[in-house]
């Protein structure tokens, strides 16, 4: 009897892992879409190219906090506008979390998001616009895995 | 894909606080009543209304399914730094109440709003205007 339950629990574990992997895959695809959307924005008055080059979305998991992607974006900003490259410790996801992070590693992004009621904001408006698409992308990935 | 009537929806969201009975408690807490409720583009005017001010910025409108849209709006709640955030924070509940769909459904001849989600952002400062500010985000399914 306990062997039968072991099989059930093993199958449930496998299913859970498959769903999480599919969700990560879906979010990675969504992150690419968000990055493309951010970099295509004309909301900010980009003077050096740093904001466009540094706009990025990436997936952070307990195993990979996305620092590789972040550092690449930081490097792009540092090259184009070295006095304004900015990073701060934000903390990674908890053990049961997967995060989709959208950011721009400049010291003036917060100003852009807020000044004149967000007249030149990109992050918040982009995430508002793309949330349904993000949800659809990762839902499709999970559904495909479960078929 | 079918968009709701964006201009009608913007007008309804604005009028909810600027004109409707549901927005009266909000207007009572502003510097110049309805005169302190503006569209965000007017923040560039040289003279701003008496604080606290509400400034509306319409965001994206995204098709969800064939007949549903998700519309995003932000009310930016401004006040003078000398007031700290007390008057800003006092406005959050009345703003939320004004969009309570069970008490005050949001509808126009061309748009019927379904759910209205409301969320306050963090206290921050608009350094361009030299004012304290807190955004209130509305997400409307219509």
pLDDT digits (tens, 9 = 90+) for B5-54: 889 899 999 999 999 999 999 999 999 999 999 999 999 888 999 999 99
Q: Long-range contacts made by residues B66-69, C-beta under 8 angstroms, separation at least 24?
A: B66/B1, B66/B2, B67/B2, B68/B114, B68/B141, B68/B142, B69/B2, B69/B3, B69/B4, B69/B141, B69/B142
- Per the CB < 8 A criterion, the answer to whether A22 and A145 are in contact is yes
Confidence at A2, pLDDT banded by 50, 70, 90: low
Contacts of B76 in chain A (CB under 8 A): 117-118
The pLDDT of residue B1 is above 50: no
pTM for the full model? 0.88
The DSSP bridge partners found for residue B124 are B133
Helix axes A109-118, A123-146, angle to 10 degrees: 110
In a mutational test of the A interface, the residue from B36, B48, B74 whose CB has the highest number of chain A CBs within 10 Å is: B74
Question: In terms of Cα–Cα distance, which of B91, B86, B79, B78 is closest to B26?
Answer: B91
Helix axes B86-98, B6-18, angle to 10 degrees: 120
| Sequence-ordered list of residues with C-beta below 8 angstroms from that of B49, at least 6 positions apart, any chain | B31, B32, B35, B36, B38
Lowest average pLDDT, out of A30-34, A35-39, A87-91, B77-81, goes to A87-91
Contacts of B129 in chain A (CB under 8 A): 115-116
The pLDDT of residue B3 is above 70: no
Structure tokens at B66: 């064939």
Contact at CB, B76 and A125, closer than 8 angstroms = no
Q: Is B40 on the interface with A (CB under 8 A)?
A: yes
Structure tokens at A109: 């992004």
Interface of A with B (CB under 8 A): 110-111, 114-119, 124-125, 128-129, 131-133
Contact at CB, A115 and B128, closer than 8 angstroms = yes
Phi, psi of A100 (to 5 degrees): -105, 115
Contact at CB, A117 and B76, closer than 8 angstroms = yes
């Amino acid at each position: 009897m306990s062997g039968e339950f072991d099989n059930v629990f093993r199958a449930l574990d496998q299913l859970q892992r498959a769903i999480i992997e599919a969700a990560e895959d879906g979010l990675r695809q969504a992150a690419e879409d968000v990055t493309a959307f951010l970099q295509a924005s004309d909301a900010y008055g980009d003077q050096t190219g740093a904001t466009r080059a540094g706009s990025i979305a990436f997936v952070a998991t307990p195993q990979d906090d996305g620092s590789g992607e972040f550092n690449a974006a930081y490097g792009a900003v540092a090259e184009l506008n070295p006095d304004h490259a900015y990073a701060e410790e934000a903390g990674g996801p908890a053990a049961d979390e997967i995060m989709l992070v959208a950011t721009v590693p400049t010291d003036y992004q917060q100003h852009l998001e807020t000044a004149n009621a967000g007249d030149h904001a990109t992050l918040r408006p982009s995430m508002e616009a793309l949330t349904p698409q993000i949800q659809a992308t990762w839902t499709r990935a999970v559904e495909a895995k479960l078929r | 894909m079918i968009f709701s009537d964006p201009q009608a929806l913007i007008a309804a969201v604005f009028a909810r606080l600027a004109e409707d009975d549901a927005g009266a408690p909000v207007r009572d807490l502003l510097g110049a009543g309805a005169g302190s409720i503006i569209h965000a583009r007017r923040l560039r005017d040289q003279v701003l209304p008496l604080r606290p001010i509400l400034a509306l910025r319409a965001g994206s409108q995204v098709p969800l399914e064939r007949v549903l849209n998700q519309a995003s709006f932000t009310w930016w709640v401004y006040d003078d730094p000398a007031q700290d955030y007390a008057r800003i924070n006092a406005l959050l509940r009345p703003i939320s109440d004004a969009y309570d769909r069970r008490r005050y459904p949001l509808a126009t001849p061309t748009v019927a709003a379904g759910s209205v989600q409301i969320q306050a952002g963090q206290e921050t400062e608009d350094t361009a205007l030299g004012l304290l500010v807190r955004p209130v985000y509305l997400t409307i399914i219509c």
